[in-house]
Structure 1
Amino acid sequence: MIRTLWIESFKAFSDDPGRTAPGIRLQPMTVLVGPNGSGKSTILQAIDALGWLSAGTIKEMLDAHHWEYADLAHLRAERAQTALQAEIDLPDAARARWRLTLGSRRSPGVASESIEKAVGDAWRTIIHRTGRDVARYPERAGIGKEKTTLSLPSSWLSTIDLKADRDRFPTLVALAQWARRIRAYYFLDPVALRASSRGTGERYDELGLHGENFASFLGRIKSRPKDFARLIERVRAHYPRLVDIHVRRKSYGWTHLEVTEKWNGEQATFNARQVSDGLLRIIAVAAMHEMREAPSVLLIDEIENGLHPRLLGGLVAMLEELTKTGSTQVIATTHSPITLNYVSSPESVLLVTRGKGGGVRVTPMNETRSFQELREHFELGELWYNAGEERLVPGKKGR
Structure 2
Amino acid sequence: MPVSNFVETSLGMQLTSLHVENFKSLVNFDISFSKFSCLIGLNGSGKTTVLQFIDFLSQLSKGDIKGWLKTRQWTSSDLHSKLTSQRLIKFCATFLLEGSDKVQWEATFNPDLGRCTYERVSIDNLTLMLAEDKKLSLHSNSHKSVPPIHNFPIIFDYQGSVISQLGHDLLSNFHSALLRVKDFFLKTHSLELLSPAFLRRRSRNSEGGIGYGGEQMSAVLYGLGRSKRNEILAKLKTVYPYLQDIDVSQLQAGWKKLNVVEEYSSKKYSFESKHVNDGLLRLLAVFAQLKYDDGFVLFDEIENGINPELVEFVIDLLVESPHQVLASTHSPIVLNYLEDEIAIKGLVYIYKGKNGFTSSIPFFSIPSMHEKLSVMGPGDAYQDTSLVDLQQEIISIGAREASQ
- What TM-score do you get using the length of structure 2 for normalisation? 0.85
Would the aligned equivalents of 2:137 and 2:152 in 1 still touch at CA under 8 Å? yes
CA distance in 1, matches of 2:299, 2:69: 19
The secondary structure found in structure 2 opposite 1:351 is strand
Partner of 1:17: none
Partner of 2:302: 303
What amino acid is aligned across from residue 166 of structure 1 in structure 2?
Answer: S
Partner of 2:8: none
What is the deviation of 1:43?
1.0
What amino acid is aligned across from residue 368 of structure 1 in structure 2?
Answer: I
Verify: 1:50 aligned to 2:62, yes or no.
no
The secondary structure found in structure 1 opposite 2:291 is coil
Partner of 1:380: 378
CA distance in 2, matches of 1:196, 1:386: 44
Partner of 1:165: 171
Report 1:265-280 matches (<5 A).
268-280=269-281
Verify: 1:191 aligned to 2:197, yes or no.
yes
Aligned length: 375
Q: 1:152 to 1:247 in 2, by over 3 A?
A: closer
CA distance in 2, matches of 1:70, 1:213: 29
The secondary structure found in structure 1 opposite 2:169 is coil
What amino acid is aligned across from residue 55 of structure 2 in structure 1?
Answer: D
- Partner residue of 1:136 out of 124, 138, 156: 138
Q: Deviations over 1:255-305 (max 9, x none)?
A: 3212133568875432211111111010111222322x31x2101111111
What is the deviation of 1:372?
3.0
What amino acid is aligned across from residue 329 of structure 1 in structure 2?
Answer: Q
CA distance in 2, matches of 1:242, 1:284: 16
What is the deviation of 1:133?
3.1
Report 1:1-399 matches (<5 A).
1-14=14-27, 20-21=28-29, 23-90=30-97, 94-103=101-110, 109-118=115-124, 123-140=125-142, 141=144, 142=146, 143-150=148-155, 152-198=158-204, 203=206, 206-223=209-226, 225=227, 227-251=228-252, 253-262=254-263, 268-291=269-292, 293-294=293-294, 296-322=295-321, 325=322, 328-344=323-339, 345-346=342-343, 347-393=345-391, 394-395=393-394
Would the aligned equivalents of 1:337 and 1:382 in 2 still touch at CA under 8 Å? yes
What amino acid is aligned across from residue 29 of structure 1 in structure 2?
Answer: F
Q: 1:263 to 1:317 in 2, by over 3 A?
A: farther
Q: Deviations over 1:23-60 (max 9, x none)?
A: 31100000001111111111111111111111213323
Q: 1:270 to 1:184 in 2, by over 3 A?
A: same
Q: 1:250 to 1:109 in 2, by over 3 A?
A: closer
Would the aligned equivalents of 1:103 and 1:109 in 2 still touch at CA under 8 Å? yes
What amino acid is aligned across from residue 342 of structure 1 in structure 2?
Answer: Y
Bigger fraction of residues in helix: 2
The secondary structure found in structure 1 opposite 2:53 is helix
What is the deviation of 1:10?
0.5
What amino acid is aligned across from residue 316 of structure 1 in structure 2?
Answer: I
CA distance in 2, matches of 1:349, 1:207: 26
Would the aligned equivalents of 1:89 and 1:96 in 2 still touch at CA under 8 Å? yes
Moved more, 214-223 or 260-269: 260-269
CA distance in 2, matches of 1:127, 1:254: 42
CA distance in 2, matches of 1:138, 1:167: 7
What is the deviation of 1:241?
3.6
The secondary structure found in structure 1 opposite 2:131 is strand
The secondary structure found in structure 2 opposite 1:3 is strand
Question: CA-atom RMSD, angstroms?
Answer: 2.4
Q: Deviations over 1:296-345 (max 9, x none)?
A: 210111111111111111111111121xx2xx210011111111221232
CA distance in 2, matches of 1:11, 1:131: 26
CA distance in 1, matches of 2:355, 2:370: 29
What amino acid is aligned across from residue 352 of structure 1 in structure 2?
Answer: I
CA distance in 2, matches of 1:110, 1:233: 45
Q: 1:178 to 1:252 in 2, by over 3 A?
A: closer
Q: 1:376 to 1:108 in 2, by over 3 A?
A: same
Moved more, 231-240 or 178-187: 231-240
What is the deviation of 1:11?
0.7
Would the aligned equivalents of 1:2 and 1:86 in 2 still touch at CA under 8 Å? yes
The secondary structure found in structure 2 opposite 1:238 is coil
Share of identical aligned residues, percent? 26
Would the aligned equivalents of 2:189 and 2:208 in 1 still touch at CA under 8 Å? no
Q: 1:286 to 1:115 in 2, by over 3 A?
A: same
Would the aligned equivalents of 2:107 and 2:116 in 1 still touch at CA under 8 Å? yes
CA distance in 2, matches of 1:251, 1:110: 42
CA distance in 1, matches of 2:55, 2:370: 34
CA distance in 2, matches of 1:348, 1:263: 41
